[in-house]
A and B are shown apart, each in its own frame.
Chain A
Amino acid sequence: MYDVIRSLAYKTRTNLIFKAALLGVTGLMFVMITSIDDGAKLCGSQLAVCFADSGFFLLIQCLTIGGIIIGSDFNDKTLNYEVMSGHNKKRSISAE
């Protein structure tokens, strides 16, 4: 299980769309920072409140990152190879 997590983490790290999604989060952070009142001191809790208001963007991030990780898991056909090598589908799917 740990090896699968490591391989997924590696595939995600090297994925261009994942980098774009992270860039999107960073861009959103800067937008949020500029939207905070000038008088208020920039702090983590203030940003957390601003982030909470932007649920749509967070969902898009969630969608992109989740989609990439799950997609890369199936795109390399590991599941196919496991089934072809004799493991049953139940075991292969739960181990993926």
Chain B
Amino acid sequence: MIVALLTAIIATLIAINVPVIVVSAIGGWGNAISLSSYILRVAMIILPIFKFIALMQLLRFVMRNYFAAIAVGFIVVFFEMMITGFLDLPDWINNVLISTSFNKLLGYVSNVNEQTGAISYISKISNSDLTIVISVNLIMGLLFMIGGYIYCKKNDLDT
């Protein structure tokens, strides 16, 4: 359970970052954002990924079929995107949802300097929100893991 979770997190991070590494190797890093800011951001999205994969693990235990678990996970993400797209939700719900917390941690807001025309990117998330999003993701991920463990322990493992 823990090893699979770790492997899944590492594989996801590799898959997400390979294109950026390849393009950086070809065209250099550039100056849109600093490298340290990107590394910090990638380190921060480990927590939403952890929460999401812990949820997948719980779904896998409950549904006993990983294609069904992937399908339900897809529906969850799609439903969240629909809700956040159409409704103006309060901040605490945005911190709990997977897609919005992921976007908040990873996203940038572009800012155009009117005099020079230069574009600078600033973080979408404020410092106070950052602490809340990180702690909420960590706690929810742990709850999903504990839920999966309890379900697995109390039920027949025959898949």
Contacts and interface: CB of A to CB of B under 8 A. Distances in A.
Interface of A: 1, 4-5, 8-9, 12, 21-22, 25-26, 28-29, 32-33, 41-49, 51-53, 55-56, 58-75, 77, 79-80, 83, 89-90, 93-96
Contacts of B69: 67, 70-71
A66 B33 contact: no
Nearest to B153: A89
Interface residues of B, number: 61
Contacts, number: 180
B19 A29 contact: yes
A25 B16 contact: yes
Interface in B86-125: 98-99, 102-103, 106-108, 110, 121
B1 A94 contact: yes
A74 B159 contact: yes
Nearest to B61: A74
Contacts of B60: 67, 70-71, 74
B103 A55 contact: yes
Nearest to A95: B3
B19 A26 contact: yes
B107 A62 contact: no
